[in-house]
Amino acid sequence: MASAVREIAALPDPIGEVTRGITLPNGLELVTRRVPLGVVMVIYESRPNVTIDVGALSFKSGNACILRGGSEAFYSNEILIKLFHEILIKEEIDIGSVVFVDKTDRSFMIPFFQQTSLIDIVVPRGGEGLIRFVSENSKIPVVKHDKGVCNLYIDQDADPEKVIPIVINSKVQRPGVCNSTENLILHNGYPFRKELLEALAKEGVELLLDPSSLALYPNGKPVKEQDYLEEFLDLRLSVKTVSSLEEALAFIEKTSSGHTEAIVTEDLNTARIFTNSLDSAALFINCSTRFHDGGEFGLGAEVGISTGKLHVRGPMGLVHLTTTTTYVTGNGQIRG
């Protein structure tokens, strides 16, 4: 957490950055600059590092923030907020710029969701139930950081030297995070499917297999259609066998949460069709889905990974906690 704060501190200050400057034919000078969003409310679950990351990102970008963590890390969050406030007091900064809601009951937050004149944006970061609760109750604009049902497709032209390391890293390194792969799609023309399944099992992954994969690895469990829609956040993996790229794309369209999709292939045309056909926050070629992360994208840290399309898509970093104001300077011009 401390290293994340140092990385955020080292990032360029986005406030005041000129995003557009132009002199119009009528002589008006337009300058568009980045300004803070205002008050950002983030509701999250489980991980206490979010408290520090969001607090630091909000402070760096000139925003006040309201933080409401989950019951799983309530006491850790209390300690972290206390540390944050101690630093603010030391620097003679109002601790009201970082507010911690010390209630974990979701219904307690409903009055907050009505404060459209006081809170500028609300960001729910957590499970499907939390996202739905906030979306249904908030009058404030919501940037959803929804579940990550990430699909990884192994093409028939995939390099076997790349496949196992990419798949293992995508699933095993940190299975409890949103950029972990949940669905593995195997082209039936890929010759090393059995070896791949055995490698996953050796890493302790519970394999939920379709009939074709179950024939190759009988120690797996039969997959259910509902499994392909689940964010397991665990060492569980659903496997689907396809006979074409088109079938793989149709499967992804049906199961994706819009978070991350990846392909392993040596065929550049196949990779191009894959990326041009899908509509997710990030699309990867020949690398792990685990790279879909604010830190890995050079953002220092993130508020979360947005699966929506408005305001920001993908990792929500420092610059995404800003909006713009356009300053117009004239010399007596009037509009005809």
Span 252-280, pLDDT tens digits: 999 999 999 999 999 999 999 999 999 99
User: Are both 2-145+303-329 and 150-291 of the same fold?
Assistant: no
Six-digit token string for 148: 């990550």
Task: In whole angstroms, give the CA distance from residue 179 to residue 261.
Answer: 10
Rounded Cα–Cα distance for residues 121 and 65 (Å): 10
Prediction pTM value: 0.87
pLDDT in tens, 16-40: 999 999 999 999 999 999 999 999 9
Question: Which residues in the chain show pLDDT less than 50?
Answer: none
Domain 150-291, CATH 3.40.309.10 — does that match? yes
* CATH 1.20.1530.20 is held by the domain 2-145+303-329: no
- Give the pLDDT of residue 127: 80
Which pLDDT score is estimated for 310? 85
Apex 125 CA angle, 127 and 85, nearest 5: 135
Q: Where exactly are the structural domains of the chain?
A: 2-145+303-329, 150-291
